[in-house]
Structure 1
Amino acid sequence: MSLFQNLVIILVLILTSSFFSISEIALAGARKIKLKLLAESGDERADKVLKLQENSADFFATSQIGLNAVAILGGSVGESALRPYFANWLGMVYQGVWLDSIAFFASFAVVTLLFILYADLIPKRIAMINPEKVALAVINPVTWLIRLVKPLAWTINAIANLTFRLFKVNTARDDNITFDDISAIVDAGAEAGVLQEQEQHFIENVFELEERTVPSSMTAREDVVFFTLGESEESIRHKIADYPYSKFLVCNEHIDQVIGYVDTKDILVRILNQQSFFQLNESTIRNVLIIPDTLTLSELLDKFRASNEKMAVVINEYALVVGVITLSDIMMTVMGDWAAAEPEDQQIIRRDEHSWLIDGITPIDDVKHALGIEEFADWEHYETLAGFIMYRLRKIPRPADWVEHEGYKFEVVDIDHYKIDQLLVTRLEKPVPTEQ
């Protein structure tokens, strides 16, 4: 055959090999979520791709048969077609005993380079750009090829399965999607500009509801405002004026004797209508949801939905009240900084590029997001930044006590009756001793 005919054969073999390469990457890399969406919209090819992914053994056997057969044939044709020409060209400058060997290696190198570039590398990179689109384009011819070589593919798969069984290799594919997978997808969407930064935080916060416990978002015991059964009308009026809450706990004598709650709206309606003052008794006090402090925020949401309540009292294992939490508190956790009302009410205030003022009751998860810290050691022993400081110091802290963690210095700046009120957090440029 002439050189032109040999080159045409090599070109056909390269195109055939590129088809197998692009099909292999596209069908293996096509994402099931996108394929299911395409299938639901009525694209039958997407259904075929999904079925092929579930039973991919025949396809991979067919692909390897095609790739190896074409590669062997291409090497044979290319070497025999090009070696005489390389021998003639090289003979113009060299006539030694190595001429035939040099011509052989030159033809081999050219054919190998052509197959690497145009039959392997470039097709695979094209398939990786949009695997779903390429998979839909090649699924029909691939299905036909699988049927064509099915007897040979069956034999190869039988030998492969026997090998897997001998070496006890599990060939089942795990398609479960974990939180880390979803988080990676969300991060990739944010980097690509598909998701805005705030939307990314919303999604991450929603998934954290399954891990965060109720104390991380509740109003702590010392900050709870409540009424007692014997409280005077004037005192109740002052509390409603000073604390514009929609609901107030009602207790017998102290906070650990919870009876229920009253809705501020019921009291204000009577005051505005100049009716007799609202009496705190069994007929006007509503039942309140009592929950343990071990619940996660996700579990609490289920309880709110089941009871049709929006407020709950949190108690510990000794039946003591540790705080209250509302549906709004959970929504604030999800919405994060976007829901913060005023700068002075924020628990985390950035002073400059390297320092922050943070309230001691700030949940550890909020501190992680604000400072970019991946993890706090032994986090199961505390819920707040104050708890972290006390756990590390192993004592009741005093002003100017500090600890260092993940390149940050956490220094106590204000104590209120043994309670850590505020901390100064500074990003360190140089390492310092661990604790003071």
Structure 2
Amino acid sequence: MSLFQNIVIIAILIAGAGFLSLTEIALAGARKVKLKILAEAGDERAQEVLDLQENSADFFAAAQIGLNAVAILGGILGEGAFRPYFLNFVERFYTGPLAESISFTLSFTMVTSLFILFADLMPKRLAMIAPEKIAVSVINPIQVFIKVCKPLAWVINAIANLLFRLFKVNTTRDDNITFADISAVMDAGAQAGVLQKQEHHFIENVFELEERNVPSSMTTRENVVFFTLKESEASIRQKLAEYPYSKFVVCSENIDDVIGYIDAKDILVRILNNQSLLQLNENTIRNVLTIPDTLTLSELLDRFRSTKEKFAVVINEYALVVGVITLSDIMITVMGDWVIPIDADQQIFKRDNNSWLIEGSTPIEDLMHALEIDEMPDTDNYETLAGFMMYKLRKIPRPADAVIFGDYKFEVVDVDHFKIDQLLVTRLLETTETAEEKSE
């Protein structure tokens, strides 16, 4: 054959190998979610791609048969076609015994390079750009190719399956989507600018409802405002005016003797009707939902939905009240700044780019969001920043006690009756870290 004919044959072989490489990567990399969207939109080829992915053994066997056959044939034809021309070229400069070897090496290198570049590297990179679009485009011709190679592919797959069983290798593909997968997609969307930072945190908070316990969002025991059965009318009026709550716990004598709760609007109705408030009775006191402090926020949402309640008292294993929580508290946990009033007390106050004043009762999840910390140590042992300090120090903290974790220094600023009120969190600069390492 002439040089032109050899070049045409090599080009055809390279094109065939390139098509198979392009198809292999496209079908393997095509995402099921996007293919399902195309299938639901009426593209039958997308459904065929999905079906092929479910039973991909025949395709991969056929693809490997084609790729290897083309590569071997291309090597044989290419080496024989180009070696004489390289030999003539080499003999212009060198006529020794190594001329044949040099011409063979040059011919082999050229053919191999052409196959690597045009039949392997470039098609695979193109397939990674838009795998779903390419997979849908090539599905019909590749199915014809699979049918042609099916007899030999069946034999190869039978041997492969036998070896897999022999070595107990599970070949079932796991397509379950985990929270880590969704989180990775959200991170990619945030980096690409598709999701704003606030929207990213909102979606993260929704998924965290399954992990966050009720105490991370409740109003703690010492901040609960309650009425007693013997509460005076003046005291009731004062609490209504001082605390803008819609619901108040009613207790017999102390907070652990909870009877129920009263809605502020019921009291206001009595005031508007000029009725006495001297006695809280069963007409105004409602049954209160009591929940254990071990519930997650997700479980509490289900409890609110089933009971039609929006307010609950939280008790611990010793039947002591540890706080109260409302549906609004959960919404604030999820939506953060979107629903928190502007004049509300801030638990995290940013002083500058490297320091924060943070309340000890701040939930550890909110702290991690504010400081952009991916992971805290042993989070099963505490729920707030104060709990983190006590866990790390192994004692009741005092002012000036400090803990260094990662790139931050947590220093106790104010303690009130063993309760950590406020901490100063400082980002450690490189110079500070270097000095501490040297001192250690």
**Normalized against structure 1, the TM-score is what?**
0.96
- Cα distance in 2 between the residues matched to 1:336 and 1:93: 78
State the SS of the aligned residue for 2:286.
coil
The answer on whether the counterparts of 1:249 and 1:261 sit within 8 Å (CA) in structure 2 is yes
- Cα distance in 1 between the residues matched to 2:177 and 2:240: 48
Mean Cα deviation higher: 342-351 or 401-410:
342-351
- Counterpart for residue 52 of structure 1: 52
Confirm whether residue 10 of structure 1 aligns to residue 6 of structure 2. Answer: no
Q: CA RMSD in A?
A: 1.5
- Cα distance in 1 between the residues matched to 2:340 and 2:223: 18
- Counterpart for residue 122 of structure 2: 122
Identity of aligned residues (%): 72
- Cα distance in 2 between the residues matched to 1:341 and 1:411: 28
- Counterpart for residue 238 of structure 1: 238
Mean Cα deviation higher: 408-417 or 277-286:
277-286
- Cα distance in 2 between the residues matched to 1:81 and 1:57: 36
Matches within 5 A, 1:296-311: 296-311=296-311
State the SS of the aligned residue for 1:60.
helix
Matches within 5 A, 1:265-344: 265-277=265-277, 279-342=279-342
Following superposition, the deviation at residue 339 of structure 1 comes to 3.4
- Counterpart for residue 393 of structure 1: 393
Q: Which residue type is aligned with residue 68 of structure 2? A: N
- Counterpart for residue 147 of structure 1: 147
Runs of 5+ unmatched residues, structure 2: none
Following superposition, the deviation at residue 274 of structure 1 comes to 4.2
Structure 1 runs of 4+ off > 6 angstroms?
none
Following superposition, the deviation at residue 276 of structure 1 comes to 4.8
- Counterpart for residue 28 of structure 2: 28
- Cα distance in 2 between the residues matched to 1:261 and 1:41: 53
- Counterpart for residue 264 of structure 1: 264
Structure 2 CA distance for partners of 1:278 and 1:113, relative to 1, 3 Å: farther
Q: Which residue type is aligned with residue 213 of structure 1? A: N
Following superposition, the deviation at residue 150 of structure 1 comes to 0.9
- Cα distance in 1 between the residues matched to 2:406 and 2:204: 22
Cα displacement string for residues 336-393 of structure 1 (whole angstroms, at most 9, x for unaligned residues): 2443333761111111111110000001111111112222222111110001111122
State the SS of the aligned residue for 1:420.
strand
- Counterpart for residue 346 of structure 2: 346
Cα displacement string for residues 189-221 of structure 1 (whole angstroms, at most 9, x for unaligned residues): 111222222111111111111111110111100
- Cα distance in 2 between the residues matched to 1:28 and 1:384: 45
Confirm whether residue 87 of structure 1 aligns to residue 97 of structure 2. Answer: no
Matches within 5 A, 1:108-119: 108-119=108-119
The answer on whether the counterparts of 2:332 and 2:339 sit within 8 Å (CA) in structure 1 is yes
**Normalized against structure 2, the TM-score is what?**
0.95
Matches within 5 A, 1:93-242: 93-242=93-242
- Counterpart for residue 74 of structure 1: 74
- Cα distance in 1 between the residues matched to 2:193 and 2:14: 38
- Cα distance in 1 between the residues matched to 2:317 and 2:302: 21
- Cα distance in 1 between the residues matched to 2:344 and 2:318: 35
Q: Which residue type is aligned with residue 351 of structure 1? A: R
State the SS of the aligned residue for 2:350.
strand
Q: How many residues align?
A: 433
Confirm whether residue 252 of structure 1 aligns to residue 258 of structure 2. Answer: no
Mean Cα deviation higher: 291-300 or 249-258:
249-258
Q: Which residue type is aligned with residue 333 of structure 2? A: T
- Cα distance in 2 between the residues matched to 1:116 and 1:265: 78
Mean Cα deviation higher: 94-103 or 215-224:
94-103
Cα displacement string for residues 96-152 of structure 1 (whole angstroms, at most 9, x for unaligned residues): 111111111111111111111111111111111111111111111111111111111
Following superposition, the deviation at residue 273 of structure 1 comes to 4.8
- Cα distance in 2 between the residues matched to 1:188 and 1:215: 32
- Cα distance in 1 between the residues matched to 2:15 and 2:265: 76
Q: Which residue type is aligned with residue 352 of structure 2? A: D
The answer on whether the counterparts of 2:10 and 2:74 sit within 8 Å (CA) in structure 1 is yes
- Counterpart for residue 374 of structure 1: 374
Mean Cα deviation higher: 393-402 or 201-210:
393-402
State the SS of the aligned residue for 1:149.
helix
The answer on whether the counterparts of 1:343 and 1:349 sit within 8 Å (CA) in structure 2 is no
State the SS of the aligned residue for 1:118.
helix
- Cα distance in 2 between the residues matched to 1:74 and 1:199: 54
Cα displacement string for residues 286-343 of structure 1 (whole angstroms, at most 9, x for unaligned residues): 1111000000111111101101111111000000000011111111111124433337
- Cα distance in 2 between the residues matched to 1:83 and 1:337: 73
Runs of 5+ unmatched residues, structure 1: none
- Cα distance in 1 between the residues matched to 2:346 and 2:12: 68
